[in-house]
Amino acid sequence: MKKKLYLYIALLFGFLSFAQQISSSIDSTQIKIGSQFNLTIKAKVNAKDKVVFPAGKFFGALEILESYPIDTVKNDNQYELIKKYGLTQFDSGRYVIPKLLVKINQKEFRTDSLSILVNDVKVDTTKQQMYDIKDIIATEEKPMSEWWKLLILLVLIIASGFASYFIIKRLQKEKEQKEEFFASPIEKAIAYLQNLDKKQLVQRGDVKEYYSEMTDITRTYIEESVHIPAMESTSSELIESLKKAIKDKKMFVNREDLEKFSRVLENSDLVKFAKSQPMLFEIETDKKIIDKFLLIIDKALPRTEDQAAILFAEEVRKKEMQKQKFKRLVMSIGISMFLLVASVVIFAYTVGFDFIKDNYIGHSTEELLEKEWITSEYGEPAIIISSPKVLKRTIDEKIQNNLPENVKSTSRFIYGSITDDFSIVLITTAYKDTTKIDLDLALEVDLKELEKFGAKNIIVKTGEFENVKGLSGKKAYGTFKAFDPDSEEVIKMQYDIMVLSQPGGAQEFFFMYREEDEHAKQIIEKIQNSIELRKAKK
């Protein structure tokens, strides 16, 4: 009885000691949507212990953003292994990190389950109106160009290129059909056997028709090349006539190959007259025997010098036909490509290559950085910035018709789109009074706006902004994922959001660019340092 008690106590203490080896904690009990928090798992082990921490892309409903390397802390004869994970969630609510499995020397241990609260972003539209558009400002516009005529010209040139290609292709096909004939009986037989496979008679269950056509092709070849009445002969008569011809013409044909051919003829008779149904591998074997036998007969046929010369001449003529066919194909493709390139060059010369790049191709960030920049004034209260391209005003009628009472005007200016190499969105808002917005709240609203642009899985970091001219504000930055409809792929992007405020007005910048693009980062820094503000008009 005492031994059992001691054993029970030893097991209990052993279990408790192992339980104390594993601990887990989180650095925050609540976060905002998309913000990162850290989960830490610690294991106290000896030097020879093997520890396996949990892995994967999700812990319960929480997404793993980053799995950090294991840190090691030595304490006397023991080691403390520290494993950290960066987690987040993109929907509000309360979530639970489940008990996670940790293995120590193949023994399984579980961490404690932990709870995290993900808070939604609160938006106060009475104090933060950031998305309204003011009335259109009348400006002097350039007379409308006749670009549509160039477009019609471009379409006609491309259409003529394709038309020439198909006309040449059609003429080439008709000429080939008129000129097509076979240089020798073996060439015709091989071509017909290849066409027989393309008909897929066996796949459709027409085995009888397949064998009938295959043997007819073979008999026709033997009749034309060996000159015996193969089409009117029975299978046994054909074999006997073939044996006699081989002997008389002194053709070298192996007896085994002749016997195999004889068996194929017998199989064909069984299929055609006795409704036999051979297996698929038997049909394939018979076809291979026919292909080989025809080549054996053709090789064994005695030929005079005149016959050999005729065959050589036909082979040369056939190669010349193929050469002419290739030339016609290259010519038709060349004409089409020339017309296409010519139309593009004419279009680019007429409207300007910059117009094409702005509207169709786009500029690389390196090119944007090195080109001559433009200084412009945008919105009300006016903000002055230097940028590689002028930002274009966009208008949303729905927002414009629903301006809050204290909003005087709102303007939005854009360059590029969310999946371009680089894009900018500038929003300016003027109030009827001396309202000054809460910058932290404005950043939260802007992150919602980023989602409207199409951003997913947004990672958020925040900080202070100040440029070389002493202008200060708040900023948010990080990464997000967006679907590119052109490549149909999900691409990873980076963003910088800046919010500036003064009594009666506010300005917001969105910069979006491809991840780790150093030229884009230099563009952003250059724009930020060029910013100047004008006071809001009362």
How far CA 334 is from CA of 75, 165, 464, in Å, comes to 77, 9, 59
CA atoms of 36 and 118, how far apart (whole Å) = 10
Residue 476 phi/psi, 5-degree rounding, is: -130, 145
Q: Please state the rounded mean pLDDT for residues 465-469.
A: 80
Q: How large a percentage of the chain has pLDDT more than 70?
A: 74
Q: What is the DSSP letter of 127?
A: T
Q: pLDDT (tens digit, 9 = 90+) per residue, 329-356?
A: 777 677 767 766 766 666 555 555 555 5
pTM to 2 decimals? Answer: 0.40
CA atoms of 248 and 396, how far apart (whole Å) = 95
CA atoms of 233 and 402, how far apart (whole Å) = 95
Give the pLDDT score at 147: 56
**Listed range (136-145, 356-365, 473-482) with the worst mean pLDDT:** 136-145
Which carries the bigger pLDDT value, residue 370 or residue 43? 43
Residues 28-66: b if buried by 16+ CB within 10 A, e if exposed: eeebbbbbbbebebbbbbeeeeebebbeeeebbebebbe
CA atoms of 87 and 38, how far apart (whole Å) = 6
Q: Has residue 164 got a pLDDT over 80?
A: no
Q: Please state the rounded mean pLDDT for residues 414-437.
A: 79
Q: Are strands 62-67 and 58-59 parallel, antiparallel or unpaired?
A: antiparallel
Q: Please state the rounded mean pLDDT for residues 86-105.
A: 89
Q: Has residue 434 got a pLDDT over 50?
A: yes
Q: Please state the rounded mean pLDDT for residues 434-457.
A: 81
Banded model confidence at residue 7, pLDDT cuts 50, 70, 90: very low
CB 223 within 8 A of CB 242: no
CB 208 within 8 A of CB 320: no
Q: pLDDT (tens digit, 9 = 90+) per residue, 106-125?
A: 888 999 889 999 887 665 54
**Listed range (31-35, 93-97, 128-132, 417-421) with the worst mean pLDDT:** 128-132
Residue 107 phi/psi, 5-degree rounding, is: -90, 140
Give the pLDDT score at 169: 62
Q: Has residue 21 got a pLDDT over 90?
A: no
CB 478 within 8 A of CB 491: no
Q: Has residue 327 got a pLDDT over 90?
A: no
SS3 of 110, please?
strand
Residues 242-259: b if buried by 16+ CB within 10 A, e if exposed: beebbeeeebebeeeebe
Which carries the bigger pLDDT value, residue 13 or residue 299? 299
SS3 of 438, please?
coil
Give the pLDDT score at 16: 39
CB 477 within 8 A of CB 470: no
**Listed range (157-161, 258-262, 325-329) with the worst mean pLDDT:** 157-161
Which carries the bigger pLDDT value, residue 138 or residue 148? 148
Q: Has residue 143 got a pLDDT over 70?
A: no
Residue 193 phi/psi, 5-degree rounding, is: -65, -35
Which carries the bigger pLDDT value, residue 358 or residue 471? 471
Q: Please state the rounded mean pLDDT for residues 297-318.
A: 67
Report how far Cα 270 is from the mean position of its chain's Cα atoms: 55
Name, of 35-49, 140-154, 346-360, 393-407, the range with top average pLDDT.
Answer: 35-49
Name, of 175-179, 268-272, 318-322, the range with top average pLDDT.
Answer: 268-272
Give the pLDDT score at 142: 46
Q: What is the DSSP letter of 299?
A: H
Q: Has residue 361 got a pLDDT over 60?
A: no
**Listed range (29-33, 156-160, 390-394, 500-504) with the worst mean pLDDT:** 156-160
Which carries the bigger pLDDT value, residue 87 or residue 161? 87
Give the pLDDT score at 200: 87
Q: Has residue 538 got a pLDDT over 70?
A: no
Q: Has residue 13 got a pLDDT over 50?
A: no
Q: Has residue 104 got a pLDDT over 70?
A: yes
The closest alpha carbon to 427, from 202, 64, 134, 63, belongs to 134
Banded model confidence at residue 46, pLDDT cuts 50, 70, 90: confident
Banded model confidence at residue 380, pLDDT cuts 50, 70, 90: confident
CB 375 within 8 A of CB 530: yes
Mean pLDDT over each residue of the chain, to the nearest integer: 78
HSE at residue 393, side-chain half, CA atoms within 13 A, is 18
Q: Which two tokens stand for residue 516?
A: 């780790």
Q: pLDDT (tens digit, 9 = 90+) per residue, 302-312?
A: 865 555 565 55
Q: Please state the rounded mean pLDDT for residues 92-98.
A: 87
CA atoms of 157 and 138, how far apart (whole Å) = 39
Give the pLDDT score at 5: 42
Q: Are strands 51-52 and 101-104 parallel, antiparallel or unpaired?
A: antiparallel
Q: Please state the rounded mean pLDDT for residues 205-211.
A: 89
